[in-house]
Amino acid sequence: MDAGTIKLLVAIVLFSVPVIFCAEMLPKREIAGRRLTRPQAQSVGAVIGLVVGIGFLLATG
């Protein structure tokens, strides 16, 4: 495995963790006056995961 492959695997893990965490923790909680469903909670986690994953790739070059 070269360095690029390892960076990509780390970025995938960094993306997946917030998606799983938000899917478990956020459903039926209110954010901005709206009660979130599981798919909505997963999409919030996906946005967070994209920011973290892409940020990691940009930071490491």
Q: Domain ranges in the chain? A: 3-60
Would you say 7 and 33 are in contact if contact means Cβ atoms under 8 Å apart?
no
- In this predicted structure, the answer to whether residue 34 has a pLDDT above a threshold of 90 is no
> What is the per-residue pLDDT for 1?
80
CA distance 20 to 41: 9
Q: Looking at this protein, which amino acid is placed at residue 31?
A: I
30: phi then psi, degrees, rounded to nearest 5: -95, 130
Average pLDDT over residues 5-33: 92
Would you say 18 and 56 are in contact if contact means Cβ atoms under 8 Å apart?
no
pTM assigned to the model: 0.84
